[in-house]
Amino acid sequence: MKYKIKELLRVSFILPLLFVSCTKDEDPKLIEEQELITTVVLTLSDGATSQTVRWNQDSNNTPSIALQANKSYEVAVSFLDESDPGAVEDLTEEIKEEADEHQVFFEFSGASIRFSSRQGDTTDSANNPLYINSTWTTTSSGTGTVRVYLIHQPTTKTSTNRGGFGGETDAAVDFTVVVSE
């Protein structure tokens, strides 16, 4: 009987210590999941004509963009989650709202095209353009590709190549570009 009382006393002293040492983390970390981007849409207009090209993760085709040499085009890019056709989610507004954490970048190869921000583009808190709305200017005919990036948490927003931005790639999508005379 003495043995049971001693054991009960020992347990009664140890149990409260266990409860005190197992407290909840007072500063939990917020884990934000990255959005699923299944579709990238480019809408291009030269003022007289417009075209919309779509890339979807389920397609094996590389969409093609047809442009004319020595012209400027207003370009809008949209990012969608179409994984549930009954509840398509346009992520573009959320990306605009989180402009400090995102950067759109266009990487042209084989086609002479320059891009710049245009009126109506979103800027971050440091007044850097997001390039959701941009102007593409063609200089000569040729065929090439444009890779459209959505970069999350870039370390800089003034690079001229993808590697210079740092951060993570939320989307990297290729489009064929054909610039005709």
Any residues with CB less than 8 A from the CB of 44 and at least 6 apart, and which?
50, 51, 52, 53, 65, 67, 73, 74, 75, 136
List domains and CATH numbers for the chain: 36-180 (2.60.40)
DSSP character for 154? -
Per-residue pLDDT of the chain (181 residues; tens, 9 = 90+): 554 555 544 545 454 444 444 444 454 444 445 679 999 999 999 999 999 999 999 988 899 999 999 999 999 999 999 999 999 999 999 999 999 999 999 999 999 999 999 999 999 999 999 999 999 999 999 999 999 999 999 999 999 999 999 999 999 999 999 999 9
- pLDDT attached to residue 4: 52
List CB contacts of 107: < 8 A, sequence separation 6 or more. 146, 147, 149, 161, 162
β-strand partners of 90: 80
The pLDDT, as a whole number, for residue 22 is 45
Instruction: Count CB neighbours of 141 within 10 A.
Output: 15
Going by their DSSP bridges, the two strands 64-68 and 168-180 should be labelled as parallel
